[in-house]
Amino acid sequence: MFSYDFSQGNKDMRDLLGGKGANLAEMTNLGLPVPPGFTITTKACQVYLETGKEPPGLTDEVTAHLATIERARGKTLGDPADPLLVSVRSGAKFSMPGMMDTVLNIGLTDDSVHGLAAQANDERFAWDSYRRLLQMFGKTVLGIDGERFESALEDAKQARNAEHDVDLDAEDLRDLVAAYKRIVQEETGKEFPQDPREQLDAAIRAVFESWNAPRAVTYRRQERIPGDLGTAVNVVAMVFGNLGAGSGTGVAFTRDPASGARGIYGDYLSNAQGEDVVAGIRNTVPLTELARLDQTSYHQLLDIMATLEGHYRDLCDIEFTIERGKLWMLQTRVGKRTAAAAFRIATQLVDEGLIDEDEALRRVDGHQLAQLMFPRFDDRGRRRRISRGMNASPGAAVGRAVFDNATAVEWARSGESVILVRRETNPDDLEGMIAARGILTSRGGKTSHAAVVARGMGKTCVCGAEELDVDTVGRRFTGPGGVEVHEGDVISIDGTSGEVFLGEVPVVDSPVVRYFEGDLDPRAADADELVRAVDRIMRLADARRRLDVRANADSPADATRARSMGAHGIGLCRTEHMFLGERRTHVERLILAEGDEEREKALAALLPPQRDDFIGIFAAMDGMPVTVRLLDPPLHEFLPDLTELSVRVAVARERGEVDPDDVRLLRAVRRLHEENPMLGLRGVRLGLLVPGLFTMQVRAIAEAAVARIEAGGDPRVEVMIPLVGAVQELELIRDEARAAIDDVQERAGVALSIPVGTMIELPRAALTAGRIARAAEFFSFGTNDLTQTAWGFSRDDVEGAFFSAYLEKGIFGVSPFESLDAEGVGRLVRIACEEGRAARPDLKVGVCGEHGGDPASVHFFHEVGLDYVSCSPFRVPVARVEAGRAAVLASADAGDESR
């Protein structure tokens, strides 16, 4: 069977019937007034796309379904006296807005147009319906450039001096039909088909084929929708909202999709068809107006909305049409909503007894929570909106407009907040983007260079604000209504909504962040409903999750912040900042040291300040694990820049004032210079080649632990070795670390328990994890380096250089540095986890790459069975909520299987 009458399907048949068809069937079976119709399955589409032919039997099935519709409506398709008309619409399993096609009014012909006019008692309506059919059929089914129809329509309007389509009368539209038919004849060499069934079959084929339209293919690649699913096709009896004042069309939501508040939300347009609402030819009225216009239909609609919400147990959105006083439901689906509404609705539905708590957790996600955590513009602030573009990277940014890289960098250096405004950005703009508070472009979509790089940097970005004319040479842009913004003028951009404002709009902290930071009490009588909802969901997530959540933090302030965000420890404390600032001179001395004594002196100077840093961090995380990673970056990162130093020495030579220290330093910088520092002398390799370096760090760690114990604290320290590729590297450093720890505890007379483990961030480490686990007490996946080395992508270069092109070409749907590439890098993680645990069953395994805070990646890590994820403090709540969701989703799946 390749097709289902609406009475034969249900909402759980999305795979076969697509989202729209499944929901139409569900509404039909609920007894709601859905026009009769049927759905041709995605399977039929797959067969058609594979073989180029309709599957066997489909034609007969369509004939039988059509007969059912004809009986129900008491009309025959295309009957000259009283035609049944049908619509043919695509409807895939996953919504692909605007990607595929629709044809309305099938069944109209030169004859039946008169029948329609007589039945409707409206000539104009009949000719307008026919010209709409010709236009949609011509474009979608016959592949004629839509512009040809548009320009014929424009000509008709001009001839009439008419501003809108609605100003054309029946005669104009009849002429337009004739013109459209000529276009069809010219373009295809054939008449527009006058056989209604031929129209129907051709439209069905066209919808099948639209699955493989180039824009649909690209969209799917980007959205990771499998290309072989196919689309279902819905054939539905037409009902008309444009049959006079007693007719109309509207959309409705069962609650406010912006705030989640209960009430009546929607818009209604009298005497119009659905597409007129979209075209915005006339203004809609609020749905409550319908109570005045047609009380019976209004109350019926409210009843239906209550039924749907109770049935779907969620916010539904609805499209409906009233044809001469009779209400028809054309579509429903679980409605899209803002992040704030998602949290509020989920908890409201629990309180209303419609869903349980686990379901509430499934219905929100970490992306939504992240959105709620960005600072935002104060609703009460005065604002003058000048444009709207794409909401490419969320947040609220205010600054002076600058139009080039150099100015962005220069002004930012002098303490100005700047917004970099470009037509589009390219890799040369990287520095300016880093310096700017926000980025605004007039071209490009969500995968443009600006959007990709800004998201990667967590920087606010609005892109593709096409109304703005950006003149980088003149250093200004102009907007609608002649607004001009010159270099230095203040603008505000909202990366969450895509809006651009003139002047400064005040920014406020998100109440959700203030809640996490302990500034807002969700139990207070006047607590914001959103804060309460977030608090409830967070408690639920914490109760359900199996994964622990730690933070990446390397200062006491970050550690404190991480704790308030709910982190249970530090999964990665990088130690590189402990080698910066004034301490750089000690690093220089270490590198320049000639002989053990000089080197030991330099190391000894580095130890105390590090120990103090550790004491602060351990105190802030008292009682929770802190994984300290030994030094990772190559030492030359702590030395002066090669070019700068070469110039300094050359100039000094000219003047005959050479500083011998500079000359030695220059020699060292040259010696340590690397073409590919990311693949050079860093991580464990440094520890092996710079004698005493790691021992000094371990001593500082152990002494800090002793100090904390002596002060009555409870330090839970772990030492982590970076960039290990072979077990032998780890064994050497581990022995050195153990010796240092033993020495400190003996001297202090305090027992220390400090596990030594390793990062797994090279493919070789992942593939030899079984051996490595014998020498490591824990693993932590460094998925940043693991992604870099598995793909051969230089982390610092590729996102700015070519990722936007890769995304546009659909090579991946999201940067693998942002969301773990489960197929490739994830496979390495899985292998290492399994083989590591096989060798050492109590091996603790976590992840500390950026992916630890990415929703999809958190689910992957849950599924692989890691013990914890670690991410930046700000993303800890996102990881908590997603870890909770991963657990309840997994248990729901398991439940499905056992049923």
Give the dihedral of Cα atoms 411, 413, 418, 421; nearest 10 deg. 70
CB atoms < 10 A from the CB of 413, how many?
9
Q: What are phi and psi of 382, to 5 degrees?
A: -75, 140
Q: How far is the CB of 788 from ligand PEP (least distance, A)?
A: 7
Within 186-215, the residues that bind Mg ion by CB under 5 A are none
- The closest of 457, 448, 468, 470 to 392, measured between CA atoms, is 448
Q: Could you say which of ligand PEP, Mg ion, none residue 248 binds, taking C-beta under 5 to 8 angstroms by partner kind?
A: none
Scanning 516-524, 755-763, 819-827, 832-840 for contacts with Mg ion by CB under 5 A, the matching segment is 755-763
Residue 761 lies near Mg ion (rule: CB under 5 A): yes
Q: What are phi and psi of 560, to 5 degrees?
A: -65, -45
Catalytic residue from among 316, 461, 463, 848 = 848
Residue 783 lies near ligand PEP (rule: CB under 6 A): yes
Say which residues have a Cβ less than 8 Å from residue 179's Cβ, sequence separation at least 6.
152, 155, 156
Torsion sign across C-alpha atoms 480, 486, 492, 496: positive
Query: Does the annotation mark 316 as catalytic?
Result: no
Residue 569 lies near ligand PEP (rule: CB under 6 A): no
- Number of residues assigned to the chain: 899
Q: How far is the CB of 864 from ligand PEP (least distance, A)?
A: 16
Terminal-to-terminal C-alpha distance of the chain:
26
Q: Could you say which of ligand PEP, Mg ion, none residue 572 binds, taking C-beta under 5 to 8 angstroms by partner kind?
A: ligand PEP
Residue 758 lies near ligand PEP (rule: CB under 6 A): no
Question: What single string gives the DSSP state of each residue in 498-530?
Answer: TEEEESPPPEE--HHHHHHTTSS-TTSTT--HH
Residue 554 lies near Mg ion (rule: CB under 5 A): no
Q: How far is the CB of 183 from ligand PEP (least distance, A)?
A: 59
Q: Could you say which of Mg ion, ligand PEP, none residue 105 binds, taking C-beta under 5 to 8 angstroms by partner kind?
A: none
Number of residues that bind Mg ion (CB under 5 A): 3
- The closest of 615, 606, 620 to 703, measured between CA atoms, is 615
Give the dihedral of Cα atoms 149, 151, 155, 157; nearest 10 deg. 80
Say which residues have a Cβ less than 8 Å from residue 363's Cβ, sequence separation at least 6.
314, 342, 345, 346, 349, 355
Binding string, 761-780, against ligand PEP, x = CB under 6 A?
x-------------------
Residue 172 lies near Mg ion (rule: CB under 5 A): no
Q: Could you say which of Mg ion, ligand PEP, none residue 311 binds, taking C-beta under 5 to 8 angstroms by partner kind?
A: none
Distance, CA of 645 to CA of 651 (rounded, Å): 10
Residue where the block lists tokens 């100090």: 707
The residue within the footprint of ligand PEP, chosen from 572, 591, 756, 845 (CB under 6 A), is 572
Choose between 136 and 572: whose C-beta lies nearer to Mg ion: 572
Q: Could you say which of Mg ion, ligand PEP, none residue 849 binds, taking C-beta under 5 to 8 angstroms by partner kind?
A: ligand PEP
The residue within the footprint of ligand PEP, chosen from 113, 233, 848, 883 (CB under 6 A), is 848
Choose between 484 and 637: whose C-beta lies nearer to Mg ion: 637
Residue 785 lies near ligand PEP (rule: CB under 6 A): yes
Q: How far is the CB of 575 from ligand PEP (least distance, A)?
A: 10
Residue 784 lies near ligand PEP (rule: CB under 6 A): yes
The residue within the footprint of Mg ion, chosen from 335, 444, 782, 877 (CB under 5 A), is 782
Which strand (E) or helix (H) includes residue 419?
strand 418-422
Q: How far is the CB of 725 from ligand PEP (least distance, A)?
A: 13
Catalytic residue from among 45, 316, 449, 586 = 449
Residue 849 lies near ligand PEP (rule: CB under 6 A): yes
Distance, CA of 460 to CA of 439 (rounded, Å): 6
Distance, CA of 521 to CA of 513 (rounded, Å): 12
Distance of CA 848 to the CA centre of its chain: 21
Within 610-669, the residues that bind ligand PEP by CB under 6 A are 632
HEC string of 707-753 equals HHHHCCCCCEEEEEECCCCCHHHHHHHHHHHHHHHHHHHHHHCCCCC
Q: How far is the CB of 783 from ligand PEP (least distance, A)?
A: 5
CB 94 within 8 A of CB 205: no
Choose between 385 and 795: whose C-beta lies nearer to Mg ion: 795
Distance, CA of 404 to CA of 697 (rounded, Å): 44
Number of residues that bind ligand PEP (CB under 6 A): 10
Residue 141 lies near ligand PEP (rule: CB under 6 A): no
Torsion sign across C-alpha atoms 534, 538, 544, 546: positive
Scanning 318-326, 341-349, 661-669, 783-791 for contacts with ligand PEP by CB under 6 A, the matching segment is 783-791
Q: How far is the CB of 849 from ligand PEP (least distance, A)?
A: 3
Residue 782 lies near ligand PEP (rule: CB under 6 A): yes
Residue 819 lies near ligand PEP (rule: CB under 6 A): no
Q: How far is the CB of 36 from ligand PEP (least distance, A)?
A: 58
- Known catalytic residues? 449, 848
Residues that bind Mg ion (CB under 5 A): 761, 782, 785
Q: Contact residues for ligand PEP (CB under 6 A)?
A: 572, 574, 632, 761, 782-785, 848-849
